[in-house]
Structure 1
Amino acid sequence: MIPKSISIAAVAGTALLWSIAAEAQTVGPSGEAATPSQDITLSDSDLSALSGKGYKAALLWHTSSDFINAVSAGARDEFAKAGIDVVVETDAGFDPAKQRSDIETALAAQPNIILALPLDPTTSAEAFRQAIADGTELVFLSNLPAGYEHGTDYAAIVTDDLYQMGKQAADALASGIGGSGNVGYIFHDASYYVTNQRDQAFKSTIEQDYPDIQITAEQGISDPARAEELANAMLLKNPDLDGIYVTWAEPADGVLAALRANGNKTTKIVTLDLAEPVALDMVRGGNVTAIVADKAYELGRAMAVAGMKSLAGEDVPPFIVAPALTVTKDNVAEGWQESLNRDAPKSVLDAAK
């Protein structure tokens, strides 16, 4: 899910690298190879070693949302297997100063493991230093504090398989338009590694794998509120677009509004991250042909396991990625559960019947 208020400065220093070798892939901050989250598990002996020790965990999040609720649920369920209590859960509201205060509050409860998304590389680096000094195992969601070293300062970074999200979006749009045609590309015009990698993966997949599809219109967007305006301008210059890629679901809703205002029922949309308005259009057979989502519950599960394995003295890979999921009308109910660990909105389920 895309933070709306996170500063460019907060992410520029931790931007993940995106490489194309024999096969493009998501890589870590220093080029670390990604370890699939399904490879990060606890054995029965691990659980026995952790149980009954009175270990505690804290979840220090950057915001509150369905996405964070699912990440938390995955972490809580995994911690429960080892009898580890979650004693603190906070929401910093995208405020680095509030996050620093949350860390201080959490440390008073003496957690053995902290799961968090650091909002600002510099501020977070200082804020988490006391946790390191206290011997707390740190597992980060996506971002990394400046200067932190794996195995010394933190146990692991866990994030989405960003390349696969973009690639699956390209594959879905290609399928939706029959493998040929002209498409528009609406990308996130800001230095934020999550959207940057996903957007670049979409573009490179179209260019490399689909010679009969041409990206004939490109538009950067930084303010989702301008999506309808920008889409109208794109459609005015390119009225024959067969499809449009939109960087995430909120601006995709604005693009949908532009298509409807133009009476356009044929241009297909693919976007990223689950949201009710675009999902409702998709299941009703509208312009949206697919939505690519992350597996938020799996992110939380993997974060908890990484923290517990490090607490038990085991080696943990530095960079762990959870798989992407393509959601269509046919699997929307299952996709919502797999991604967010909850039912899809009633409106979506009713329309999908």
Structure 2
Amino acid sequence: MRFKNRLIGAAIGGVLALTIAGAAMAQTIGPNGETATPSSALTLTDAEVAKVKDGKYTAALVWHTSSDFVTAVTAGATDKFKRLGVEVVATTDAGFDSARQLSDVETVMAKSPSAILALPLDPVGSAKAFQAAKDKGVKLVFLSNVPAGYKHGADYVAIVTDDLFQMGKQAADVLAKALGAKGKLAWIFHDAQYYVTNQRDNAFKTTIEKDYKDMSIVDSQGISDPARAEEIAQALLTKTPDLDGIYVTWAEPAEGVLAALRSQGNSKTKIVTLDLSEPIALDMVKGGNVAGIVADKAYELGRAMATAAAYGLLGKEAPAFVVAPAVTVTKENVKEGYSESLNRDTPQSVLNASK
């Protein structure tokens, strides 16, 4: 369910997003072609921290929804702001409603925040939603998406997201390890123009083709509606019943693929997917079809966003596009994986099954 919370920017990037989707990228790039900077590069000196504290600044967190992912990002941002002496005066949840996000911005602006962290719900609507904040000089830091027409340095401080290429690459690596670096694969990719999923999906495909000569993608299928995942997987398995592995673009549709395998009594075909999900993690620790999960470090995304906001408050130029690391989660490190990614305890069902 986690990645569904961020599938709201399909129009971002225009022609560039189409180029990204079809290209064999060797590294993560931003929605407008920005070079990625690792989140670890965002640092503040003691003097800069003291200056931020002296500023008596405030911040608002304007989120698109609520989820474990958003909770972890919020925790990372809040902890960093606390160390910087920045008071978080509002946290909102738009429930995937662009009009509500506009209203949320209007509400938090009444508190005159110095900075706003947000995931814009859509490029055009968000351009209007954050206009008042931009006009008043509020320092804007965006998660994954950017409003249409907004310029780095002038309208917003930075975009922060996952290391998209590494997520796809690590998914290929963990599946290859599970299969002994050989076998027939199916590739279920996100059939939409969205630079986040496009890069992750294509990084998997590129890594298999480049690094694993005895593995081949023999079938592929795009998916736009996660509810159709089981149906799509059934068709793939009917057409190619001897599949050794399946890549699924994120965890929610992977649950449907897992259901299809179970309905056919297939315990052989391995799945790899992106983003944590309790049903997927539970199958993995039980030694089922799931070979591994690759997740982003959501807590680190929040920390990086708050640090970028401090850059803006200090008048210090931040990198345009910042990425947080990916973590490969397997049966052996599932407890550490949940902590690193979501800064939360592993679900009890997963812990019990892993003992």
**If the TM-score is normalised by the length of the shorter chain, which range does it land in?**
over 0.9
Q: Are the aligned partners of 1:13 and 1:121 in contact in 2 as well (CA < 8 Å)?
A: no
Query: Who is 1:213 aligned against?
Result: 215
Q: In the aligned structure 2, how far is the partner of 1:152 from the partner of 1:7?
A: 24
Which of 27, 32, 42 does residue 34 from structure 2 map onto? 32
What TM-score does the superposition give when structure 1 sets the normalisation length? 0.96
String of CA shifts for 1:276-309, please: whole Å, max 9, x gaps: 0000000011110100000000000000000011
Does 2:227 correspond to 1:186? no
Which of 106, 115, 118 does residue 117 from structure 2 map onto? 115
Cα 1:190–1:141, aligned 2, differ >3 Å: closer, same or farther?
same
Provide the secondary structure at the position in 2 that maps to 1:24: coil
Query: Who is 1:307 aligned against?
Result: 309
Q: Are the aligned partners of 2:58 and 2:88 in contact in 1 as well (CA < 8 Å)?
A: yes
Q: Which residue type is aligned with residue 153 of structure 2? A: G
Q: Which residue type is aligned with residue 51 of structure 1? A: K
Q: In the aligned structure 2, how far is the partner of 1:179 from the partner of 1:31?
A: 32
Query: Who is 2:349 aligned against?
Result: 347
For residues 160-239 of structure 1, what are the structure 2 equivalents within 5 Å? 160-239=162-241
Kindly state the Cα deviation for residue 4 of structure 1 after the two structures are TM-superposed: 5.8
Cα 1:139–1:168, aligned 2, differ >3 Å: closer, same or farther?
same
Kindly state the Cα deviation for residue 9 of structure 1 after the two structures are TM-superposed: 5.5
Q: In the aligned structure 1, how far is the partner of 2:269 from the partner of 2:31?
A: 37
Which of 62, 69, 72 does residue 71 from structure 2 map onto? 69
Query: Who is 1:293 aligned against?
Result: 295
Q: Are the aligned partners of 2:92 and 2:104 in contact in 1 as well (CA < 8 Å)?
A: yes
For residues 85-104 of structure 1, what are the structure 2 equivalents within 5 Å? 85-104=87-106
Kindly state the Cα deviation for residue 262 of structure 1 after the two structures are TM-superposed: 1.1
Cα 1:22–1:215, aligned 2, differ >3 Å: closer, same or farther?
closer
Identify the range of structure 1 (8-17 vs 28-37) with the bigger mean alpha-carbon deviation. 8-17
Provide the secondary structure at the position in 2 that maps to 1:26: coil
Provide the secondary structure at the position in 2 that maps to 1:31: coil
Which of 90, 105, 108 does residue 106 from structure 1 map onto? 108
Query: Who is 1:2 aligned against?
Result: 3
For residues 36-55 of structure 1, what are the structure 2 equivalents within 5 Å? 36-55=38-57
String of CA shifts for 1:85-127, please: whole Å, max 9, x gaps: 1101111111111111111111110000100011111121122
Structure 2: segments with no counterpart, 5+ residues: none
Q: In the aligned structure 1, how far is the partner of 2:295 from the partner of 2:16?
A: 20
The ranges of structure 1 where at least 4 consecutive aligned residues each deviate by more than 6 angstroms after the TM superposition are 19-23
Query: Who is 1:58 aligned against?
Result: 60
Cα 1:248–1:26, aligned 2, differ >3 Å: closer, same or farther?
same
Q: Which residue type is aligned with residue 314 of structure 2? A: A
Q: Are the aligned partners of 1:248 and 1:271 in contact in 2 as well (CA < 8 Å)?
A: yes
Structure 1: segments with no counterpart, 5+ residues: none
Provide the secondary structure at the position in 2 that maps to 1:3: helix
Q: In the aligned structure 1, how far is the partner of 2:64 from the partner of 2:141?
A: 14
Cα 1:14–1:162, aligned 2, differ >3 Å: closer, same or farther?
farther
Provide the secondary structure at the position in 1 that maps to 2:283: helix
Query: Who is 2:243 aligned against?
Result: 241
Provide the secondary structure at the position in 2 that maps to 1:51: helix
Q: Which residue type is aligned with residue 234 of structure 2? A: N
Kindly state the Cα deviation for residue 191 of structure 1 after the two structures are TM-superposed: 1.8
Query: Who is 1:158 aligned against?
Result: 160
Q: Are the aligned partners of 1:161 and 1:321 in contact in 2 as well (CA < 8 Å)?
A: yes
Q: Which residue type is aligned with residue 33 of structure 1? A: T
Q: Are the aligned partners of 2:25 and 2:199 in contact in 1 as well (CA < 8 Å)?
A: no
Q: In the aligned structure 1, how far is the partner of 2:253 from the partner of 2:23?
A: 31
String of CA shifts for 1:139-158, please: whole Å, max 9, x gaps: 00010111111111000000
Kindly state the Cα deviation for residue 248 of structure 1 after the two structures are TM-superposed: 0.7
Provide the secondary structure at the position in 2 that maps to 1:18: helix
Identity among equivalent positions (%) equals: 63
Provide the secondary structure at the position in 1 that maps to 2:268: coil
Cα 1:189–1:9, aligned 2, differ >3 Å: closer, same or farther?
closer
Q: Are the aligned partners of 1:14 and 1:121 in contact in 2 as well (CA < 8 Å)?
A: no
Q: Which residue type is aligned with residue 275 of structure 2? A: D
Q: Are the aligned partners of 2:20 and 2:195 in contact in 1 as well (CA < 8 Å)?
A: no
Does 2:128 correspond to 1:134? no
